[in-house]
């Protein structure tokens, strides 16, 4: 049997039935649809790769549909939580005729807070169940709501598997920045991008979506830029292998000026005899050198000003020279020996915490340093390192120290009753039906969500 390319139609095949993504002749499910030809003949003809490619296309389409369904389901749960907060935060106290708010807030303000807390509690529950961050959950819900309301054409194409998730997210993010009442701009944005969202690769589509958004926006860019400047920010991210990164959001002319400055100086240095660093390495070194030199001249400690202390956990066997387990920098994690020594030379004070080489139990905590947290808080920071809220990685030093059993109900100020919780998770524990439990015998801790999901608190290093 001779098989030519004409026997295998290109995919994907879109039919009137939205649930049917491939033609009946596909071989994705051999047990359900008998292949129209002998697969051995296909392999012998050299056309097996074509069948595999069409199979892959079908898988991709089904995956896109599932992702879109996930977006929609997340949005539905959060929308329902806002409409009916009781399952997430308990009964509405404002319905009691004798109710009086201790903070003297109005009933409308309390109900608004209940809706907000219910959505946050639901988002945390979803994030644990799906293994994604709370921010990702909230973002997907927002994208689904934006596309459904402002870009129905793109939303429909996304739900039918014709748009990749990256392009759908890009369209939603850009559409969300259009004015709330500019429905004509929404429609033009949706119409102009419906086709390209299905054909352009994510990188090119991002560029096109940004341009279309600028074109349809009813407000002049000068006014928008004035507001955007107020939102300038910088984000710092801890990375692997003793590295970290930072991202700056600032006016384009200033960022581009930094880019050109770094590139020009990097190229000058690259032309020097004996220079072995790559342009990427040189650009990085130029920017960091410029920043750190500025820090050294503008933030030099004045007379009497104390310098920041450095908290480092040192395994006792390493301290004695019998092991090479790395030190741990507070707020980051394991650091290399050279960095640890440099920090030791620059810091005016250290918090040294000795740990057992096998169990990791704290053996001793320095109590001679100045302007450091109290010993108990210091110990909690070592024990937990980060917020104990499910999935949260905010450093313990930036968290509140929460009484698991409230002080007003007899809770003790002891490590068995204390945990670091960031502001968001502290509020959820206090105002929603998320509950933190502890086993008094084993010391194990776990959360129980409003939907009865049990989430263990994993001790570091997780």
The mean per-residue pLDDT over the stretch 170-193 comes to: 95
Mean pLDDT of the residues in the chain: 81
Mean pLDDT over residues 302-307, rounded? Answer: 43
CB 217 within 8 A of CB 228: no
Average pLDDT value for residue range 384-391: 91
Same-domain status, 276 and 329 = no
Q: For 180-185, which contacts have Cβ atoms below 8 Å and span 24 or more sequence positions?
A: 182/217, 182/218, 184/218, 185/216, 185/217, 185/218
Domain assignment present for 243:
yes
d(CA 397, CA 377): 9
Residue 52 lies inside a defined structural domain of this protein: no
Residues 68, 207, single domain; the answer is yes
Mean pLDDT value of segment 15-30: 46
Query: Residue 183 above 90 pLDDT?
Result: yes
Using pLDDT thresholds of 50, 70 and 90, give the confidence band for residue 226.
confident
pLDDT bin (cut points 50, 70, 90) of residue 88 is: very high
Q: Of 82-91, 343-352, 414-423, where does the model show the most confidence?
A: 82-91
Convert the pLDDT of each residue in 37-87 to its tens digit: 565 665 666 667 777 888 888 999 999 999 999 999 999 999 999 999 999
69 plus 161 within the same structural domain: yes
Section 294-305 average pLDDT: 50
Shared-domain flag, residues 257 and 342: no
**Higher pLDDT among residues 28 and 141, named by residue:** 141
The domain boundary residue, chosen from 182, 206, 229 = 229
Same domain, yes or no, for 437 and 347?
no
Q: State the pLDDT at residue 457.
A: 93
Kindly tell me if the per-residue pLDDT of 443 is higher than 60.
Answer: yes
Describe the crossing of helices 165-175 and 152-159 by its angle, rounded to 10 degrees.
Answer: 160
d(CA 382, CA 375): 11
DSSP state of 395: B
Range among 91-105, 184-198, 228-242 with highest mean pLDDT value:
184-198
Domain that holds residue 268: 233-294
Say yes or no to pLDDT of 382 above 70: yes
In a domain, 1, yes or no: no
| pLDDT-based confidence at residue 448 (cuts at 50, 70, 90) | very high
Q: Is residue 43 part of a domain?
A: no
Q: For the chain, what percent of residues have pLDDT higher than 90?
A: 49
Q: Say yes or no: 213 and 109 in one domain.
A: yes
Q: Whole-angstrom Cα distance, residue 329 to residue 340?
A: 8
Q: How many CB atoms lie within 10 A of CB 200?
A: 18
Reply yes or no on whether the pLDDT at 264 is more than 60.
Answer: yes
Domain presence at residue 331: yes
Q: Give, for 402, the enclosing helix (H) or strand (E).
A: strand 400-403
Q: Are residues 423 and 349 in the same domain?
A: no
Say if residue 219 is in the same domain as residue 92: yes
Question: Minimum mean pLDDT among 213-222, 316-325, 379-388: which range?
Answer: 316-325
Q: pLDDT digits over 122-162, tens only? A: 999 999 999 999 999 999 999 999 999 999 999 999 999 99
Closest CA to 388 of 404, 406, 408, 372: 404
Asked if residue 237 and residue 225 are part of one domain, the reply reads no
- Percent of the chain scored above 70 by pLDDT? 72
Cα separation, 395 vs 344, whole angstroms = 21
In a domain, 248, yes or no: yes
Q: What is the mean pLDDT of residues 193-201?
A: 95
Instruction: Give the up-direction half-sphere exposure of residue 252: CA atoms within 13 A in the CB hemisphere.
Output: 4
> 236-241 long-range CB contacts below 8 Å, 24 or more apart?
238/332, 238/333
What's the pLDDT at 307? 47
Average pLDDT over residues 201-230: 89
For tokens 């596909």, the residue is 26
- Both 221 and 72 in one domain: the answer is yes
Residue 423 located in a structural domain: yes
Q: How many residues are present in the chain? A: 462
Residue 148 lies inside a defined structural domain of this protein: yes
Q: Where are the beta strands (DSSP E) in 126-279?
A: 233-238, 244-249
pLDDT at 317: 65
pLDDT at 44: 65
| 181 and 279 belong to one structural domain | no
Contact 208, 196 (CB under 8 A): yes
225 and 92 both lie in a single domain: yes
pLDDT of residue 353: 59
Number of domains in the chain: 4
What pLDDT is recorded for position 401?
A: 87
Tokens of 242: 């003793």
Which of the listed residues 372, 397, 423 is the one where a domain comes to its end?
372
Query: Which is more confidently placed, 407 or 370?
Result: 407
Instruction: Say what the pLDDT of residue 175 is.
Output: 97
């Amino acid at each position: 049997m001779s098989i030519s390319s004409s026997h295998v139609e290109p995919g994907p095949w879109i039919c009137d039935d939205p649930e049917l993504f491939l033609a009946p002749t596909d071989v994705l499910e051999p047990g359900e649809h008998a292949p129209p030809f002998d697969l051995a003949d296909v392999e012998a003809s050299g056309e097996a790769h074509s069948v595999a490619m069409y199979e892959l296309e079908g898988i991709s389409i089904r995956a896109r549909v599932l992702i879109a369904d996930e977006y929609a389901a997340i949005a539905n749960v959060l929308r329902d939580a806002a409409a009916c907060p009781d399952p997430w935060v308990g009964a509405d106290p404002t319905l009691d005729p004798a109710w009086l708010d201790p903070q003297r807030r109005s009933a409308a303000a309390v109900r608004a807070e209940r809706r907000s807390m219910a959505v946050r509690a639901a988002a945390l529950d979803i994030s644990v169940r799906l293994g994604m961050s709370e921010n990702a959950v909230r973002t997907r819900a927002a994208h689904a709501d934006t596309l459904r309301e402002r870009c129905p054409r793109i939303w429909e194409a996304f739900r039918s598997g014709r748009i990749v998730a990256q392009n759908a997210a890009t369209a939603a993010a850009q559409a969300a920045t259009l004015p709330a009442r500019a429905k004509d701009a929404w429609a033009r944005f949706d119409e102009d991008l419906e086709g390209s969202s299905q054909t352009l690769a994510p990188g090119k589509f991002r560029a096109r979506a940004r341009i279309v958004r600028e074109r349809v926006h009813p407000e002049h860019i000068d006014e928008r830029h004035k507001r955007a400047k107020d939102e300038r920010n910088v984000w710092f991210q801890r990375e692997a292998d003793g590295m970290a990164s930072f991202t700056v959001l600032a006016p384009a002319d200033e960022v581009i000026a930094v880019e050109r400055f770094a590139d020009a100086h990097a190229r000058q240095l690259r032309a020097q005899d004996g220079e072995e660093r790559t342009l990427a390495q040189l650009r990085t070194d130029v920017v960091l050198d410029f920043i750190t030199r500025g820090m050294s001249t503008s933030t030099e400690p004045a007379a009497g000003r104390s310098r920041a202390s450095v908290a480092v956990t040192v395994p006792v066997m390493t301290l004695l020279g019998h092991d090479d387990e790395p030190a741990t920098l507070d707020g980051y994690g394991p650091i290399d020996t050279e960095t640890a020594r440099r920090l030791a030379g620059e810091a005016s004070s250290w918090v040294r915490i000795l740990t057992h080489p096998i169990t990791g139990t704290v053996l001793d905590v320095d109590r001679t340093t100045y302007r450091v947290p109290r010993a108990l808080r210091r110990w909690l920071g070592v024990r937990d390192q980060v917020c104990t809220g499910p999935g949260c990685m905010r450093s313990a030093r930036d968290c509140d120290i929460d009484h698991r059993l409230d002080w007003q109900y007899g809770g003790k100020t002891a490590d068995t009753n204390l945990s670091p919780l960031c502001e968001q998770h502290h509020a959820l524990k206090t105002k929603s039906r998320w509950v933190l439990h502890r086993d008094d015998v084993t010391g194990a801790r776990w959360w129980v969500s409003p939907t009865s999901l049990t989430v263990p608190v994993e001790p570091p290093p997780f």
